[in-house]
Amino acid sequence: MMDRRFLVLFDGFPIEEAQVKSGENTHQVIVASRCVNVALFLSGNLRRNVSISIAWGETSDLRVITFSGETLKRVSPDERSISFFLLKSTRVVERLSVDQAILMDNGIEVARTDFNSLLQKWDPSNVYVSVMGNEDSEQTDNRTTGVFVYGIGTHENPKMKKQFLAIPRPPNPERFILDINLKSDWND
């Protein structure tokens, strides 16, 4: 059973083989790789009850790469290894049509879908969105299950605050994920 799903939304996701091979990745790839590492591996073991999705594009046509602790195979926790898997996954997701999904042999799921369909598929108990200026975290301190969304660029949408439960927004998504996982560890 999946306790926590993290969704990090980017406007775009520029990734090229030459950059990945040389270790000179774009900012988005570095952030995404660190998010996967923090979400799944920064605990001494693979978190089987957590998934991290990296998505980009318009909310009506998102490209989504999901690393699920439940199904993941042969992925190392280092940034370089993760960036190679992101590159491979990006190549697959770009060939998909809208409303198509594939589970790759390494347990990574790639999909093209819209934001609402993605949430319906996951059927979360709650959806939390990180919002600037929402420092009243008292009501969300013990929330450790559901979908946790961190939008970057145009996806940093304060209107989502009205649709979903707002929680504080750290300066980067890696910290957002780390804080929620740590709260979960304390509650277990």
Spell out the domains of the chain, with CATH numbers in brackets: 4-187 (3.40.1280.10)
pLDDT at 31 over 90: yes
- Residue 111: per-residue pLDDT: 98
Q: What is the mean pLDDT of the chain?
A: 89
- Between 143 and 37, the more confident residue is 37
- Residue 1: per-residue pLDDT: 59
What pLDDT, in 10s, does the model give residues 10-28? 999 999 999 999 999 999 9
Whether 166 and 126 have beta carbons less than 8 Å apart is answered as no
* Percent of the chain predicted with pLDDT > 90: 66
Q: Residue 115: CB partners within 8 Å, gap ≥ 6?
A: 59, 60, 62
- Between 2 and 114, the more confident residue is 114
Res. 140 pLDDT band, cuts 50 70 90: very low
What pLDDT, in 10s, does the model give residues 173-186? 999 999 999 888 77
- Residue 137: per-residue pLDDT: 47
Average pLDDT over residues 128-156: 76
Phi, psi angle pair for 94, to nearest 5°: -70, -20
Res. 138 pLDDT band, cuts 50 70 90: very low
- Residue 147: per-residue pLDDT: 95
- Residue 188: per-residue pLDDT: 61
The rounded distance, in Å, linking the Cα atoms of 176 and 179 is: 5
